[in-house]
Amino acid sequence: MSLRLWTLVLLVMLPGVALGGSSAYYLFPDWAALDASHRNYQKLAQDSNSTLRDLAIAEAAENRHRINCFAEGMGVLLGGVIFSIGVHGICTLLEPAPNPASESASEHSTNRSSRNP
């Protein structure tokens, strides 16, 4: 394989997979914590004995996990974009180069046909 191909794989595709994978790894525990904090907030909102301070603390915990999930989700998307840039680079590397002999032959046939009305 060519050096350009290895450069794309090592410097673009692998970091994209690593970023997406590590973000997904941390996204799932944050998602579970967000679900638990949301259930806790709902339970406190329906409880008549909960104070405004309890609700504010539960809402802050839910928002913290919501922001963490958003950031980790964006990391997954960014890793996918970086990986797809590497795939696109490999696809453009593997396209066959145009044959100069066939281009000159088509130019000659075009010139001949333009001379004959």
Task: Write the pLDDT tens digit of every residue in 41-98.
Answer: 999 999 999 999 999 999 999 999 999 999 999 999 999 999 999 999 988 887 676 7
Kindly report which listed range (1-5, 46-50, 105-109) carries the lowest average pLDDT score.
Answer: 105-109
Q: Give the burial class of 9: count Cβ atoms within 10 A of its Cβ; 0-12 exposed, 13-18 middle, 19 or more buried.
A: middle
**pTM metric for this prediction:** 0.72
pLDDT tier at 5, thresholds 50, 70, 90 = confident
d(CA 79, CA 84): 9
Round the average pLDDT of the chain to a whole number and report it. 87
Retrieve residue 1's tokens.
């394989």
Q: Give the burial class of 44: count Cβ atoms within 10 A of its Cβ; 0-12 exposed, 13-18 middle, 19 or more buried.
A: middle
Task: Look at residue 117 in the predicted model and tell me its pLDDT.
Answer: 54
